[in-house]
Chains A and B, each alone.
Chain A
Amino acid sequence: MNSLPLLECTDVRKAFPKPDGEELLVLEGMNLELREGQIVGLLGRSGSGKSTLLRLIAGLAEPSAGRVRYLGETVSGPARGIAMVFQSFALFPWLTVFENVALGLEAQNLPRAEIRKRSLAAIDLIGLDGFESAYPRELSGGMRQRVGFARALVVHPNILLMDEPFSALDVLTAETLRTDFLDLWAEGRMPIKGVILVTHNIEEAVLMCDRILVFGSNPGRILSEIKVTLPQPRNRLDPSFREMVERIYVEMTARPKAGGRHERFPGLGIGSVLPHVGSNLISGLMEAVAAPPFNGKADLPEIASNLQMESDELFPVAETLQMLRFAELEGGDLKLTDDGMAFAHADIDERKRIFMRHLLAYIPLATHIRRVLDERASHSARKSRFIDELEDFMSEEDAEQTLRSVIRWARYGEAFAYDDENAMFSLENPT
Chain B
Amino acid sequence: MNRFEPYVFLRGLASRWDVLAFIVVIGLIAFLGETARGLFAPLTQLEVLPLSLSPSHLPEYAARTTFRMLVALLCSLVFTLTYATWAAKSERAGRLLVPILDILQSVPILGFISITSVFFLSLAPGRVLGAEFAAIFAIFTSQAWNMAFSFYQSLRTIPTELIEAAESFRLSPWMKFWQLEVPFGMPALVWNMMLSMSGGWFFVVASESISVGHSSVALPGVGSYIALAIEQKNLAAIGWAILTMLIVILLYDQLLFRPLVAWVDRFRVEQEPGERVPDSWALTMMRRSRLIKAATLAFDAAVLWTSRLGRRTDAPVVDSPPRPKRSLDVLWVSLIVVAVVLGTWHIVAGLIANTSVSEALHVCGLACITMVRVFILITLASVVWVPIGIWVGMRPRAAEIVQPIAQFMAAFPANLLFPLAVYGIVVWKLNPDIFLSPLMILGTQWYILFNIIAGASTIPAEMRYAASNFGVTGWLWWRRVALPAVLPFYVTGAITASGGSWNAAQVSELVSWGHTEIRARGLGSYIADAAAANNFHQIVLGVGVMSLFVVVINRVFWRPLYYYAERKYRLT
Contact = CB atoms under 8 A, between A and B. Distances in A.
B571 A83 contact: no
Contact of A84 (B469, B472, B569): B469
A137 B462 contact: no
Interface in A372-408: 404
B14 to A, nearest CB: 28
Interface stretch (B148-156, B172-180, B476-484): B476-484
A102 to B, nearest CB: 10
Interface residues of A, dominant DSSP: loop
Given A93-B572, A95-B480, A104 B470 contact: yes
B288 to A, nearest CB: 6
A95 to B, nearest CB: 7
B288 A422 contact: yes
A92 B463 contact: yes
Interface string B434-463: 000000000000000000000000001011
Interface in B253-288: 273, 284, 287-288
B471 A80 contact: yes
B465 A86 contact: yes
A92 B480 contact: yes
B478 to A, nearest CB: 13
A58 B469 CA distance: 7
A107 B476 CA distance: 7
Interface in B276-319: 284, 287-288
A421 interface: yes
A83 B470 CA distance: 7
Interface in A359-379: none
B465 A104 contact: no
Contacts of B466: 84, 86, 90-92, 151
A92 B470 contact: no
A80 B568 CA distance: 30
Contacts, number: 70
B266 to A, nearest CB: 8
A58 B472 contact: no
Given A60-B465, A421-B287, A88 B460 contact: yes
B481 A92 contact: yes
A87 interface: yes
Interface residues of B, number: 25
Given A92-B480, A92-B481, A137-B572, A60 B468 contact: yes
Contacts of A82: 469
A155 interface: yes
B64 interface: no
Residue in A82, A103, A108, A404 with the greatest tally of chain B CB atoms within 10 Å: A103
Contacts of A58: 465, 469
Contacts of A422: 284, 287-288
Nearest to B462: A90
A104 B472 contact: yes
B37 interface: no
A106 B476 contact: yes
A178 interface: no
A94 B480 CA distance: 8
Closest 4 pairs (CB-CB, A-B)? A104-B470, A90-B466, A90-B462, A107-B471
16 contacts: A60-B469, A78-B468, A80-B471, A84-B466, A84-B469, A90-B460, A90-B466, A92-B480, A93-B572, A94-B568, A106-B472, A107-B470, A107-B472, A135-B568, A155-B470, A421-B287
Interface of A: 55, 58, 60, 78, 80, 82-84, 86-88, 90-95, 103-104, 106-108, 135, 137, 151, 155, 404, 421-422
Given A55-B465, A107-B471, A404-B273, 4 more contacts: A58-B469, A84-B466, A94-B484, A103-B472
